[in-house]
Amino acid sequence: MTGTLLKIEGLTKAYPGVVANDQVSFEINEGETHALLGENGAGKSTLVKMIYGLVKPDSGTMQMHGTPFTPAEPRAARAAGVAMVFQHFSLFDALNVAENIALGMENPPAMRDLAEKIRTVSEAYGLPLDPFRTVGDLSAGERQRVEIIRCLLQDPKLLIMDEPTSVLTPQEVEILFETLRKLTAEGVAILYISHKLEEIRALCDAATILRLGKNVGTCVPAETSARDMAELMVGSELQTPKSAGAALGEVVLDIAGLSMPSPSAFGTALRNIHLRLRAGEVLGIGGVAGNGQDELLLALSGEQRCAASAIKFKGAPIGQLSPNARRALGLLTAPEERLGHAAAPNMSLTENALLTGNLRKKLSQNGFLNWSKARNFASEIIEKFDVRTPGPDNAARSLSGGNLQKFVIGREVLQEPEVLVVNQPTWGVDASAAAAIRQAILDLAAGGTAVIVISQDLDELMEVADNFAALNEGRLTEVRPTQGLTIEEIGLMMGGAHGMEVAHV
Amino acid sequence: MFKLEKRPQPSQAFAYLTPILAIVATMIAGGLLFMMLGKNPFESIRTIFWDPLFGEFAFYYRPQLLVKGGPLILIAIGLSLGFRAGIWNIGAEGQYIVGAICGAGVGLAFYPLEAWFIFPLMIIAGAFGGWVWAMIPALLKVRFQTNEILVSLMLVYVAEQLLASMSLGLLKNPDGHGFPGSRNLKDYPSAFNDEVITGSGMHWGVVAAFIAVIFAYILLNRHMLGFSIRLTGEAPRAARFASVNPTRLILFCLGMSGALAGLAGLFEVAGPAGQISIDFNTGYGFTAIIVAFLGRLHPVGILFAGLLMALTYIGGEIAQANLGLPAAAIQLFQGMLLFFLLAVDLLTNYRIKRISKEAV
Amino acid sequence: MDLSAINPALLLASLLVAATPILLAGIGELVVERAGVLNLGVEGMMITGAICGFMATIVTGTPLLGFIFAALGGAGLAFLFALLTQYTLANQVASGLALTLFGLGLSSLLGQDYVGLKPPSTPQLDIPVLSDLPFLGTVLFSHDLMVYFGIGLVAAVWAVLKYTRAGLVLRAVGENHEAAHALGYKVVRIRVLAILFGGACAGLGGAYISLVRVPQWTEGMTAGAGWIALALVVFASWKPWRVLLGAWLFGGVTVLQLNFQAAGVAIPVEYLSMSPYIITIVVLVIMSADKSRAPASLGRIFHASS
């Protein structure tokens, strides 16, 4: 149980303009749960991709059981006993569970035998799954089970889990941890990647902390305070946004009985949603990914229409209005997907400023564009929101995730909305950009704007929101004040554990 | 070993350079092809690209450049609007035919009346014919999500049969001694698409092509509708987020490209071709696809690409007459040009990096 | 007008023959599209196959060799498409169109000395006993090898896609190429192989037109069959057996209108000749209502960025 399984020394990988990993070294023992801790962009993903054979290191060595380990491709890594559960699942929506699992195995048995094996293993680890269901119809938690069982069927020695809890309710997290503890008891090592400190303290035996690609320290999480780990991870004190606590005004947005089918084949339909939003209020909407968050944003932005009176803006029905008609009234939105939805990747920042700003910033006359005005608007966003870019003529795709997100949020904030809806405002964004974005949201609310923040980051919602509600299978819970909510209550609002049970240890 | 690396943003320099690279590569590959056919490659290339412009009989060929380039540019401008938005009208050949049939039909209906309004009416009918033919895939796509590529293409074959039927039936010249084909509009002054400046090759269709270039340039660079078209092609979801109505865009792009192709057909039948006949269409609608891409879907680029493609047509004819180069070789040559263009286009968005052996 | 001249047995038999070119090309394109690639160059590959097969048959005197060369020719042209779309990451729609234009030019250049020649006929596989059966013998059992090969190919593609690991991997690549790459599958290699297979099938289909159906060489003789094969795949909702059904339907329409023409039905020839294309459009419209999905990665460009 104590032998060294994987030893990593001086791993370095550089991409143009950024060193993703710089001389990273650490060891993982058999049966150990080892945390890889770091902010978004600290180089965690690149590191595990090297272990899994997806990326080749520029220099440095890896040893498995004392022998050199240089996987040329994932197949080789799997053969050596490395299995990985991806953050963005590598699943095939149109195929069924058994087919998905077969694709991840070297020598899968015949389908019928495989299905039987899936049933056995999934029961044993408390992760029940029907092998013949189409994966696209599964919830996020169930999809993760598919990935985990795919790994378990290969008898892995090392299981890599990349941000596994971001798609789970707190109850589901508990069940997952039980499963993982059972695995380590059997001698499997787990490399657990996360930026959530409490989870790591609860689960992991050792932790390696990365910052900007460098190994900045190791610790035993159970003996280290969350605060100390956070300081190692972030490197400097962060300013935490504070709610100005202004009095709430009139009801500006009134959603009553909003139901809408999902535009995508494997999406979630919205079912009878009710909520009232008042001027100056920040409403946090939590929930596990894929429970109707994207659909709610589409319904509010006007990209998908619903019954006219299902959404009322200051008493006027707007459910049938186009995105621009809603913008004219003062209802602005910022979708989750930055590249391709909120912004066009190959177009310049000026053109992207025009994308939503045309109407309220009067960037065109009779349809004819005023490019200098649009350029000035883009420059204003860049300046006021500290977007790091050479200038407004650069393509959106040349910006880092955090900078583009600041641009997207800034574009809406500077249009002085009466209601702003944002989905996952800080997803994949570095800590300082995230803090700036949260502060902008709070400032906006202090000025009397009503804001809806849809997010899977519960800490973020607790920090900015006055009130909280959760989406669960397309339904919205009742809205409750954030003050005094416990994590258990939130978990139950998010739907508890979706048909899971604790592992039979 | 080489590796592709995505550029942080599209390279401006390569956007201008790639068409030239493609032309050079095509000349080399074409030269090899002509050599295999037993011709002198240098002489062949010179005959195709140099002689029509600066050779002994250039005075005769130069006007032909406009005559052949006009319809190509007119059609390609229309196609480029749709291609920019990811709407693939590849049935311009059919819209070209129907435009010609409608326009010529209106003109012939007035025969032998001479009046000033006949030619303008024919222009409207030509554009309308092309528009209607393009509205079929447009409406089917909007209403039933039917694939516009396949429908617009099937309609080319339908239009060709319609053309045959018209030349043998409804529009057949009653004084034609039973030969297929309509009356020749060259002998009907009110319906004839004459040269604006005699001897220049500049007929009204060429004027229309130049107007279309300017119109498309303003639309794409200065107008919200053009911005919507570009946005839809770049990022369809972002376009919906920006309040672009996809239905209206499909109807506009297909309708516009159909109308322009119909116009091209009308100007051709009323001018250079002169009559509706079974073999009236010569593939301008398909060559215009190459022109649109060669011009990088940019109006000014298309202007140059159209003239270049016209040059290969004329040069090809000279090479056919003087060197005995088969007509198909020129067709192949044009196809190659599109191939090379698509291949080198990679350089606009990607960098090719050498990676050393050790790192592999 | 004499409709009684139409013999139902011969009509059904010629339906099978008329369906074979688009069946071969269609099943090939189905495999390509299931791998997530949209190759609009079927027409170009068919006509290239038609001339390659024709030339090889004239030169060697053996239709079988002709078909082999047709498959090679189609695959060769498809390789150009694979280079463009898989290695230089060109737009698949534009590349497919380029392939068609190129194929039409190439074939008429290659075929200019072959116009008007007559190839040796492809032997009928008159199956003993069975072919002597009344009616059924004529309809089903007195065809050339390629008719049966086409049907066999449909069965083989169906079985491979449904039951084998290779089929599963192919479908996975077509559904989600990023995920397939993350699992370590060679997306580009698998797609190139699928494209080559599609090209070979289209080549066979083209050669069937020039060697059996017509049989002679004329420029542009495929006359849109490649596009009908593409429509067939949409019609079939990417399911192999439905390609067979669709091919028979289109084959039936073609044969019927030719018989009407021959029987002197009072509809002008041009309008009868239009009918296969119009029916293709009508069927496409009807099938658009069927929301069974196309492969999710169809037509998307794959570039392994990391």
Point out the domain boundary residue: A171, A199, A234: A234
pLDDT at A246 (0 to 100) = 59
Nearest CA in chain B to C44: B335
Q: What's the average model confidence in pLDDT over B277-282? A: 87
**Chain B residues bordering chain A (beta-carbon distance below 8 Å):** 5, 8-10, 222-225, 227, 230-231, 234-235, 237-238, 240-243, 245, 359-360
pLDDT at C288 (0 to 100) = 76
Same domain for A260 and A168 = no
pTM metric for this prediction: 0.85
Of the listed ranges B28-42, C131-145, C162-176, the one predicted with least confidence: C131-145
Any domain includes A390:
yes
Nearest C-alpha of chain B: how many angstroms from A60? Answer: 12
Local structure of B331: helix, strand or coil: helix
Per the prediction, chain A carries an average pLDDT of 85
**Superfamily of domain covering C3-120+141-288:** ABC transporter involved in vitamin B12 uptake, BtuC (1.10.3470.10)
Nearest C-alpha of chain B: how many angstroms from A324? Answer: 6
Percentage of chain A exceeding pLDDT 90: 34
Per the prediction, chain C carries an average pLDDT of 87
pLDDT at A237 (0 to 100) = 52
The Cβ of residue B98 has, within 10 Å, a number of other Cβ atoms equal to 30
- C145 touching chain B per CB within 8 A: no
Chain B partners within 8 Å of A12 (Cβ): none
Q: Which chains touch B (3 or more CB pairs under 8 A)?
A: A, C
Q: What's the average model confidence in pLDDT over A131-150? A: 84
Residue entry with tokens 């272990």: A51
Q: What are phi and psi of B197, to 5 degrees?
A: -120, 120
Same domain for A205 and A258 = no
pLDDT at A41 (0 to 100) = 67
Give A462 or A190, the one with higher predicted confidence. Answer: A190
Same domain for A283 and A138 = no
ipTM: 0.85
**Taken in order B173, B179, B185, B187, is the CA torsion positive or negative?**
negative
Position B129 pLDDT exceeds 90: yes
Same domain for A263 and A182 = no
* Terminal CA-CA length for chain A: 19
Q: Are A452 and A311 in contact (CB under 8 A)?
A: no
Q: Are C175 and C167 in contact (CB under 8 A)?
A: no
Token pair in block for residue B310: 């016209």
Q: What's the average model confidence in pLDDT over B331-350? A: 85
* Terminal CA-CA length for chain B: 9
Q: What's the average model confidence in pLDDT over A87-92? A: 74
Percentage of chain A exceeding pLDDT 70: 93
Position C291 pLDDT exceeds 70: no
Position A238 pLDDT exceeds 60: no
Contact B343 C288 (CB under 8 A): no
Task: Tell me the one-letter amino acid at B126.
Answer: G
pLDDT confidence of A282, banded at 50, 70, 90? very high
Position C266 pLDDT exceeds 80: no
- A303 touching chain B per CB within 8 A: yes
Give the closest of A341, A367, A368 to B241, CB-based: A341
pLDDT confidence of A502, banded at 50, 70, 90? very low
pLDDT at A89 (0 to 100) = 63
Any domain includes A502:
no
pLDDT at C303 (0 to 100) = 76
Please enumerate in sequence order all residues whose Cβ is within 8 A of that of A276, keeping only pairs 6 or more positions apart, or say none: A251, A253, A254, A255, A479
Same domain for A483 and A412 = yes
Same domain for A256 and A223 = no
pLDDT confidence of A504, banded at 50, 70, 90? very low
Same domain for A324 and A213 = no
Contact A103 C172 (CB under 8 A): yes
Local structure of A469: helix, strand or coil: strand
Which residue range forms the structural domain that includes residue A90? 4-234
Give the closest of C84, C285, C303 to B146, CB-based: C285
Contact A341 B237 (CB under 8 A): yes
Local structure of B184: helix, strand or coil: coil
Residue entry with tokens 């239905």: B247
pLDDT at C195 (0 to 100) = 96
Q: Are A163 and A87 in contact (CB under 8 A)?
A: yes
Contact C105 B169 (CB under 8 A): no
Position A479 pLDDT exceeds 70: yes
Say which DSSP state A221 is in. G
Contact A49 C180 (CB under 8 A): no
- C266 touching chain B per CB within 8 A: no
Ordered by start, the domain boundaries in chain C are 3-120+141-288
Residue entry with tokens 């072919």: C131
The closest of A67, A78, A69 to A155, measured between CA atoms, is A78
Same domain for A457 and A421 = yes
Position C252 pLDDT exceeds 80: yes
What is the CA angle A4-A121-A135, rounded to 5? 105
Contact B237 A354 (CB under 8 A): no
Same domain for A281 and A148 = no
What is the CA angle C256-C261-C263, rounded to 5? 90
Chain C partners within 8 Å of A78 (Cβ): 184
Give the closest of A343, A346, A367 to B224, CB-based: A367
Q: What is the phi-psi region of residue A10: left when phi exceeds 0, alpha when psi lies from -120 to 50, beta otherwise?
A: left
Instruction: Give C 209-228 residues with CB within 8 A of chain B.
Output: 219, 223-224, 227-228
Give A109 or C193, the one with higher predicted confidence. Answer: C193
pLDDT confidence of A355, banded at 50, 70, 90? very high
Please enumerate in sequence order all residues whose Cβ is within 8 A of that of C169, keeping only pairs 6 or more positions apart, or say none: A103, C180, C185, C190
Of the listed ranges A348-357, A490-499, B59-68, the one predicted with least confidence: A490-499
pLDDT confidence of C137, banded at 50, 70, 90? low
pLDDT at A312 (0 to 100) = 95
Give the closest of C172, C184, C293 to A92, CB-based: C172
Q: What's the average model confidence in pLDDT over A135-141? A: 79
pLDDT at A17 (0 to 100) = 61
Which residue, among B4, B9, B215, would best test binding to A if mutated, counting the most A CBs under 10 Å from its CB?
A: B9
Segment holding C290, helix H or strand E: none
Cβ-based contacts under 8 A for chains A and C: 53
Contact A92 C306 (CB under 8 A): no
Of the listed ranges A467-471, B2-6, B164-168, C250-254, the one predicted with least confidence: B2-6
The CATH code of domain B72-325 reads 1.10.3470
Chain A partners within 8 Å of C171 (Cβ): 92, 94-95
Give C201 or B296, the one with higher predicted confidence. Answer: C201
* CATH, residue A350: 3.40.50.300
Any domain includes A19:
yes
pLDDT confidence of B227, banded at 50, 70, 90? very high
Contact C280 B90 (CB under 8 A): no
Distances (CA, A) of C256 to B161, C17, C26, C252, C272: 18, 13, 21, 6, 9
Q: What are phi and psi of C25, to 5 degrees?
A: -65, -40
Cβ-based contacts under 8 A for chains B and C: 133
pLDDT at A273 (0 to 100) = 93
Contact B161 C274 (CB under 8 A): yes
pLDDT at B360 (0 to 100) = 34
Ordered by start, the domain boundaries in chain B are 72-325
Contact A367 B10 (CB under 8 A): no
Percentage of chain C exceeding pLDDT 90: 43
